[in-house]
Structure 1
Amino acid sequence: MFVRLIVTGALLLLLWLAVRKAKLVPGRGQSAVEMALDFVRVQIVEQTLGKERAKPFVGMFTVIFFTILAMNLAGVVPFLNIAGTSRMGLPALLAIWVFITYLVVGSRTHGVGRYLKNSLVPSGVPWPMLILLIPIEALQVFVIRPVTLALRLVANMMAGHIMLVLCFVGTHTLFLYADAVLKPLGALTFAAGIAITLFEVFVAGLQAFIFTLLSAVYLNFALDDGH
Structure 2
Amino acid sequence: MSPTALATPFLAAASGDGGGYHAPEPQEFYQPLIGHGDWALTRPIVVMAISVGLIAWFLLATTKRASVVPSRGQWVTEALHTFVRNSLARDIIGSKEFLRFVPALFTLFSILLVNNLFGIIPPIQFPTMGRIGFPIALTLVVYVVYHTVGIRKKGFRNYIGGMIPKGLPGPIYILIVPLELLTQFITQPLTLSLRLFGNMFAGHMLLLLFITGGQYMVIHGSIGLKFAGAGSFVMAFVLMIFEGLIELLQAYIFTLLAATYIAAALADEH
- Which range moved further: 8-17 or 28-37? 8-17
Scaled by the length of structure 1, what TM-score is found?
Answer: 0.96
Counterpart in the other structure of 1:113: 157
Once residues 63 and 145 of structure 1 are traced to their aligned partners in structure 2, the CA distance between those partners, rounded to angstroms, is 21
Once residues 23 and 69 of structure 1 are traced to their aligned partners in structure 2, the CA distance between those partners, rounded to angstroms, is 26
Question: Size of the alignment, in residue pairs?
Answer: 226
Gapped regions of structure 1 (runs ≥ 5): none
Query: Is 2:54 the partner of 1:10?
Result: yes
Q: 2:79 aligns with which of 35, 49, 55?
A: 35
- The 5 Å alignment of 1:160-171 reads 160-171=203-214
User: Is the partner of 2:123 in helix, strand or coil?
Assistant: coil
User: Is the partner of 2:162 in helix, strand or coil?
Assistant: helix
- Which range moved further: 132-141 or 8-17? 8-17
Counterpart in the other structure of 1:46: 90
Q: CA deviation at 1:32?
A: 1.1
Runs of 4+, deviation exceeding 6 Å: none
- The 5 Å alignment of 1:182-193 reads 182-193=225-236
Q: Deviations over 1:92-120 (max 9, x none)?
A: 1111111111111111111111001002x
Once residues 123 and 69 of structure 2 are traced to their aligned partners in structure 1, the CA distance between those partners, rounded to angstroms, is 37
Identity level (%)? 35
Gapped regions of structure 2 (runs ≥ 5): 1-44
Q: Deviations over 1:8-27 (max 9, x none)?
A: 22222222222221112111
Once residues 96 and 219 of structure 1 are traced to their aligned partners in structure 2, the CA distance between those partners, rounded to angstroms, is 13
Q: 1:72 aligns with which of 116, 120, 125?
A: 116
Once residues 175 and 269 of structure 2 are traced to their aligned partners in structure 1, the CA distance between those partners, rounded to angstroms, is 18
Query: Is 2:173 the partner of 1:126?
Result: no
Once residues 235 and 61 of structure 2 are traced to their aligned partners in structure 1, the CA distance between those partners, rounded to angstroms, is 35
Counterpart in the other structure of 2:252: 209
Conservation of the 8 A alpha-carbon contact between 2:94 and 2:263: no
Conservation of the 8 A alpha-carbon contact between 1:123 and 1:226: no
Conservation of the 8 A alpha-carbon contact between 1:122 and 1:226: no
Q: Deviations over 1:63-121 (max 9, x none)?
A: 111111111011112232211111111111111111111111111111111001002x1
Once residues 73 and 152 of structure 2 are traced to their aligned partners in structure 1, the CA distance between those partners, rounded to angstroms, is 39
Counterpart in the other structure of 1:95: 139
